[in-house]
Amino acid sequence: MNRSAQKISPIMIDVLSDRQRGECQSGQRCVVLSSWLTVMKNRFRFTAMIAIVTALLSGCTTAVSMSKASNEPKFVVDRSLFPYTSQYLKLDNGARIHYVDEGAGPVILLLHGNPTWSFLYRHLIAKLKGEFRVIAPDYPGFGLSSAPRGYTFTAAEQAASMADFVEKMDLNDVNVMVQDWGGPIGFAIAERYPDRIKGFIIGNTWAWPLERTGHKVFSTLMGGWPGQFAAWCCNGVVRFFLSAGMERNLTDAEFAMYLAPFEEPNTRAPTHIFPAQLWDADEFLQKVYAGFPVLSDRPALIVWGLEDFAFQEPERTRFEALFPNHQTVLLKSAGHFIQEDAPEEISSAILAWYPAALGETTHHREPDHE
């Protein structure tokens, strides 16, 4: 089936938009939920709720029965799409981290968000590995990485795991590329090991407690029972993000690679825990935001999709203020997942920015073609 046939209705995105609404005046979840219900009643009545859940479940097949197996995604990677050698590293907490490590030269660490994995960066890896050492890990519970028993998949726990990964890999002079939850996680790593960090490549993300109403409503909805049910039933959270978060249409084979880590219902908790964390990780996010002064002297390349339903101009301009030594590249036809929508523009921007911003040449050789 062509992926364009499964595009999610704009109802949800319209409801969550902040562009026509003022800021929320209260941090209380009940106030936000009440405001959301008012919008739903006025514009679509309560039946819009059913429309949203139906959209989340669009294209679903019969769910597989819950199993008692450990929360370890197991699937066959399509090497025609992801032709990189899989490597693994065991962390102190018992997690087994899958990562790819391609090329040689200055290090770029590619950090994904929800509900993706290192597959998201396949185009950038191909375009950058001729000039850089490109490392792309999967968080525990995502992609081909496995989580230990009792792992809770919170943002703080994922950040601690990735910090351990950086330490065990002994990565230095690292340029960290962040997008979605990769932002808070990547900046938390950088604040823990500032001497290991050289610069940042910042995609559509954030790194502070929630402030805009739309984000709070989204967290309440997708992190609450609708998101939990959609995830359990039919991998609905993944389906929503892949539809709403990209301007281009994925092929069936690409779509399958994003669904594969969460094929079994008992592997899908991480996909709805991250949305819940938008609310629940306030303490972690506040700590990350408070630590920015130690990083603000680093050069930053900001590559920003203008069609993102989640992170827009307010987030971008804050990053521009946080990093005075920045360069911004606006991606006019890119949505939330800029790595899928604009890999050529991003890779070209990185190759131009790095020697100019950091005063270094890269490891020169002919780049590999995809």
What is the set of active-site residues? 180, 308, 336
The Cα–Cα gap between 247 and 122 comes to: 17
Burial annotation 127-155 (CB, 10 A radius, 16+ → b, else e) = bbbbbbbbbbbbbbbbbbbbbbeebebbb
Do 121 and 127 form a contact (C-beta atoms < 8 A)? no
Find, among 114, 129, 127, the residue nearest to 179 by Cα: 114
208: left (phi over 0), alpha (psi -120 to 50) or beta: beta
**Helix (H/G/I), strand (E/B), else coil: 181:** coil
From the centroid of its chain, how far is CA 268?
16
Do 300 and 323 form a contact (C-beta atoms < 8 A)? yes
The Cα–Cα gap between 125 and 300 comes to: 19
DSSP 120-162: GGHHHHHHHTTTSEEEEE--TTSTT-BPPTT----HHHHHHHH
The Cα–Cα gap between 329 and 349 comes to: 7
246: phi then psi, degrees, rounded to nearest 5: -130, 145
Find, among 280, 261, 336, the residue nearest to 305 by Cα: 336
DSSP 10-38: THHHHHH--TTS---S---HHHHHHHHHH
Do 364 and 131 form a contact (C-beta atoms < 8 A)? yes
> Which residues, other chains included, contact 317 with Cβ-Cβ below 8 Å and sequence gap of 6+?
none
**Helix (H/G/I), strand (E/B), else coil: 180:** strand
